[in-house]
Amino acid sequence: MLISLVALAAMAMSSTAQGASACVDKAAFCVKVVGELVQAHVWNYAAKTGLVLGPNNLTGLITTLYNAMDVVSREQVGMIPAVSADMTFARAAVGQVVTSPVAPAATATDITPAVTPPNDGDQNIGNKSVTLTKARRVPIRWNGEEKLALDNSGNSYNIILRDQFAQAMRTLCNEVESDLTALHVKASRAYGTPGTAPFGIANDLGDTAGALRILEDNGAQGLDFQMVLGSAAMQNMRGKQSGLFNVEKAGREDMLRDGITDRLQGLALRQSAQIKRPAKGTAAGATTNANGYAFGTTVITLAAAGTGSFVAGDVISIAGDPENKYVVSSGDASSADGGTITIAAPGLLQAIPAAATAITVANVAARNLFFARSAIVLATRVPALPAQGDSAADRTIITDPVSGLSFEVSMYMQYRQVQYEIALVWGVGAAKDEHIGILLG
């Protein structure tokens, strides 16, 4: 910096054949340049070290931001780290579509010796689209008088600001988590008893076994399985399944000493505070028509009978098929009008005979989820900006190491006050319905 200042001074004073007044002007100009440079460097240094809140100085708040994030990362947001994530720092707007490739089912052929191999093997690679549906922000604003009042009263401004950032990130985390757990309507089938929290029978892991059966029957073998539980199910897991706490049997003391859940029968156990307990459809006395429906059918026509409605996400049972609970992906506003309902893939696992067959809607229940990681997609981006930028004095991005969410933090210098903004753009989607299930509770 010193060399730069000397060089600037030499450039400003270098002209030779000028009058005394010109020399005075150049000297004044040199002093002004040097003064502005010194002021700028001192100001930036003070801003970076947190001494002042000037332009381009979010660096001074990085410690506060990460301290706040440490509080947020302990929240029960089990869905966010459990799903397949497409998280980048690229800017995007609401409505932008993110696509994930999906390979089709393979077709086998007979082996026939020949001079050349068969001319086949081409496939049409499909995709599942995830639309960025939300661009959300949480503002935090302070003016000079408010900060001064805190400083004078002995309260810590930085502690309060940290807690405000924590609440802001917590709010956005919970919104993302809620959107992910709402994908229970995309599940293929369900297991368990409505109104009864899973794992309530001591030393009985039948609920994980039932979940695994559904995933494996639906062709998800060998994938990264996840199970996200609500608080009631997790309470039973910790209180009733003593074998998980027996170090001799479990081989580890994580559950016993720290209450940490790990993989169980191939399922990564997680907890979420956003597990849904939705209202159910009002259908009663509904039946299929008399056409009969084959194994694998997904669209079922109703007889003009019964009352009430089927809604997306309803868990239904079909008479004569006691083992399977199907999830309705598209309902019918009135079961009495002879309309149709659609169940999720892979469809019926037992054929329905050519006779009116009763359909029953399960009672209200918590929708704990189990799925292959690749079956659910979360896409996040940084909010869009105009090409010319906006009035923010500075921006930075911080990433939560537990949830993986990256928040954009902006600072707007207003008239005698400062506004901080924590923002995120995201969208969620189901990439493979067959690899998602509901554990009722």
For 340-402, give the secondary structure using H, E and C.
EEEECCCCCCCCECCCCCEEEECCCCCEEEEEEHHHEEEEEEEECCCCCCCCCCEEEEEECCC
- pLDDT for residue 331: 92
CA–CA dist 85, 74 (Å, integer):
19
Residue 11: pLDDT over 90 = no
- Strands 376-383, 417-430: pairing kind: antiparallel
Mean pLDDT of 187-212: 94
CA–CA dist 333, 351 (Å, integer):
25
Instruction: Provide the percentage of residues in the chain whose pLDDT is more than 90.
Output: 49
Give the burial class of 3: count Cβ atoms within 10 A of its Cβ; 0-12 exposed, 13-18 middle, 19 or more buried. exposed
Strands (DSSP E) contained in 166-305 are 189-191, 225-229, 263-264, 267-271, 299-301
CA–CA dist 127, 313 (Å, integer):
23
**Does residue 2 sit in helix, strand or coil?**
helix
Residue 293: pLDDT over 60 = yes
- Give 61 or 206, the one with higher predicted confidence: 206
| pTM (whole model) above 0.85 | no
* Confidence category of residue 228, pLDDT binned at 50, 70, 90: very high
Residue 318: pLDDT over 80 = yes
What interhelical angle do 157-181 and 144-153 show, nearest 10? Answer: 120
- pLDDT for residue 4: 52
Residue 283: pLDDT over 80 = yes
Q: Which of 178, 150, 173 is nearest to 71 (CA)?
A: 173
